[in-house]
């Protein structure tokens, strides 16, 4: 008697979310989606690093106890983290503005389309 066959399906059907965006099966789309996902991963990791860095810098600022060197180091760390987040956000805005000005579509550079012999 197989116990797995008798248990109800708790989770349900799980579908691949990447097929919603065209998938990796087409040779003309695969490399674009691959690099797009790598770029998204880099931005997510940078955002998580900035969040952790901001929390640690805030903790260092609160626990400085009036020491000028520790306060300055913590404030510099907070400032650099916020500057990094601003650079990440402005890169998206800049790509959208350039795509809109040059190609008439703000998402042109953020979701590129490669035309090849099959298209």
Q: Can you give the pLDDT at residue 76?
A: 95
Q: Can you give the pLDDT at residue 77?
A: 95
Measured distance CA(96)–CA(115) in Å, rounded: 21
Q: Can you give the pLDDT at residue 37?
A: 79
Q: Contacts by 42-51 with C-beta closer than 8 Å and gap 24+? A: 43/88, 46/84, 46/88, 47/85, 47/88, 50/81, 50/84, 50/85, 50/88
What's the whole-model pTM score? 0.63
8 A C-beta contact, residue 30 and residue 38: no
| Cβ neighbourhood burial of 2 (10 Å; 0-12, 13-18, 19+) | exposed
Please report, for the chain, the start and end positions of each structural domain, with discontinuous segments joined by +: 20-103
For the chain, 119 residues long, the average pLDDT of each consecutive 10-residue run is 60 65 56 77 91 94 91 94 93 91 86 62
Could you tell me if residue 67 is left (phi over 0), alpha (psi between -120 and 50 degrees) or otherwise beta? beta
């Amino acid at each position: 008697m197989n116990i797995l066959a008798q248990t109800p399906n708790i989770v349900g059907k799980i579908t691949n979310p990447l097929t919603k965006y065209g998938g990796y099966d087409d040779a003309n789309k695969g490399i674009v989606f691959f690099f797009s996902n790598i770029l998204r991963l880099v931005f997510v990791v940078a955002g998580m690093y900035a969040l952790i860095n901001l929390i640690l810098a805030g903790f260092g600022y609160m626990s400085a106890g009036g020491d000028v060197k520790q306060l300055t180091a913590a404030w510099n760390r907070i400032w650099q983290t916020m500057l990094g987040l601003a650079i990440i956000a402005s890169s998206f805005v800049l790509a959208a503005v350039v795509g809109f000005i040059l190609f008439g579509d703000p998402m042109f550079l953020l979701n590129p389309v490669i035309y090849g012999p099959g298209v």
